[in-house]
Amino acid sequence: MEVDIYRRAEAGDKFSYLIVPQGKPIPEEATNTDWALRQQAVHIDETAEHLHPYEVDRPREQIQEKGYAITGVNNQVPANQAGA
């Protein structure tokens, strides 16, 4: 699956990632936060249980349910590991 990847800063010098199918807008319920586009047209294995380095669990299930997949609160990425 081709996706666009967004990132936002979180408390504690950490980051969350938002993964949206390529070319689709960020769903309305997620647009009220400051997402910055990081990468476009990235191929991911949406069947994977976990996407590293974005620390997103069950991307296919999340995208089917919500139209996007997001890093869980407990999986936020420390800034020194958030180069992607």
**Structural domain boundaries enclosing 54:** 2-81
pLDDT at 84: 52
Of 59, 56, 55, 66, nearest in space to 45 by CA: 59
pTM, entire model: 0.89
Q: How many domains does the chain have?
A: 1
* Residues 10-51 pLDDT 10s: 999 999 999 999 999 988 878 777 899 999 999 999 889 999
